Amino acid sequence: MTQPVAIPRRADLDWIRVVAFGLLILFHVSLAYAPWDWHVHSTHTFHWLAAATAATGPWRLTLLFLVSGAALRFMSRRHTAGEVLRARMARLLPPLIFGVLVLVPPQSWLEALDKGGTTQGLIAWWLHQFSPAGLANGVPLNHLWFVEYIVVYSLVVVALMARPTWIAAMERWFERWLTGWRMLVLPILFFILARQLVFPWFGQTNQLIGDWYNHLTSLGAFLFGFAVAGRDAIWKTFEAQRRRALVLFLISTPLLMALTVSPDHLAFFGWPKHILHGLEQWSAIAAILGYGSVYLRNTDGPALRYLTDAVFPCYLVHQTLLVVAVYWIKPRDWPAGLEAAFLVAVTFGGSLLVYEIVRRTGPMRPLWGLKRYPRIWTPPVKPDTKPAKAT
């Protein structure tokens, strides 16, 4: 079997992952005020959030799946498919199981209390959720559906690693076809057609079985990230097309925001909205990857390593902290601005506090997606370029 190719780690993709997860947390905070149902809703509702979420909704998760695929490629360098499988499951399965058993139940319990679905205490609710009758309705995942999908998509990649010629062919195909203007046009067409032809039939459920539109776009982005992580020609094209991508994003985003709240948003069989959705979805991703590659590729350091390690534990715990905070603050009837600032501070600050605690406890680290022993950042050694003195 051909040995995996060594690919240097990319600081730009680490920064993008950190910022994208930060945006995801802010998005979840906004759901407490959005004009639709969420786990626990504030007493304040802002209808303009329906339009505002369209600014990041089409591309935020797709970008995260793409970067997650690239991260898997970096992690898998110099390792066989079997080694990657063991390492990936050791990283993802303990947090997924721990999250389902410990982190998600308080969210579901508080939601049921808030909506009048139960008067039970947390322990009784937990026992009901994981009883045969409760499990008959499915395992509650809430925000951990993303981790479940990453587990399944990682299994797909591990299967592909057993066929290195398939991966090489996929890489060559992307490098051949995604050149010049085609880097923008072809993926945009893919996302438009997926939205127009698949989404109306299946929607996006975040439930593994039958979530075909989500798998088409998210697994596609994951495999794309894995395939192009080490293809420098692809990244040069992203860099060359970054300004055009930014212009497309700046044009499509306000149009999509306006159409989202229009009563005629599905006119002409939904084509206008789905075209704008696909335009924004890929133009945002292409612009972020292009500008990131130009300006962030060589910005590694202790701050980035700290945030990179903190991202996964913060993601695991953030929604539980947020739901608890919304439930606690809701009856206090604070002004909306003060309440929102409190929720943002509690969610980010509390998540980082949890990370600070668990990263110092070796036995707990694997439950939060961390290696048992912390990674210590060491600065790169620069070669001595001074000319040797004559003797």
At 3-32, the pLDDT tens digits run 444 456 789 999 999 999 999 999 999 999
Helix (H) / strand (E) element for 255: namely helix 232-260
Give the whole-number percent of the chain exceeding pLDDT 70. Answer: 93
In whole angstroms, give the CA distance from residue 299 to residue 115: 47
Contact between 2 and 38 under an 8 Å Cβ cutoff? The reply is: no
Asked if residue 273 has pLDDT above 80, the reply is: yes
Angular region, 383: left φ>0, alpha ψ -120 to 50, beta rest? beta
Closest listed residue to residue 316, CA positions, set 357, 344, 355: 355
In this predicted structure, what is the pLDDT of residue 3? 46
Scan for tokens 């009758």, then name that residue. 133
Tokens of 389: 């003195």
Scan for tokens 């010049």, then name that residue. 180
Q: Which of 3-17, 63-77, 88-102, 159-173 has the lowest mean pLDDT?
A: 3-17
Burial string for 58-68 (b: 16+ CB within 10 Å, else e) reads bbbbbbbbbbb
CA 270, 276, 281, 287: dihedral to nearest 10 degrees?
A: 170
Contact between 13 and 67 under an 8 Å Cβ cutoff? The reply is: yes
In whole angstroms, give the CA distance from residue 68 to residue 219: 10
Helix, strand, coil abundance in the chain, percent, nearest 5: 70, 0, 30
CA 253, 196, 193, 288: dihedral to nearest 10 degrees?
A: 20
Scan for tokens 């040797």, then name that residue. 388
Burial string for 205-241 (b: 16+ CB within 10 Å, else e) reads ebeeeebbbbbbbbbbbbbbbbbbbbbeebbebbbeb
pLDDT single digits (tens) 181-233: 999 999 999 999 999 999 999 999 999 999 999 999 999 999 999 999 989 99
In whole angstroms, give the CA distance from residue 21 to residue 308: 10
Contact between 171 and 227 under an 8 Å Cβ cutoff? The reply is: yes
Contact between 70 and 228 under an 8 Å Cβ cutoff? The reply is: yes
Number of H-type helices and E-type strands within the chain: 16, 0
Angular region, 42: left φ>0, alpha ψ -120 to 50, beta rest? beta
pLDDT single digits (tens) 335-344: 999 999 999 9
In this predicted structure, what is the pLDDT of residue 375? 58
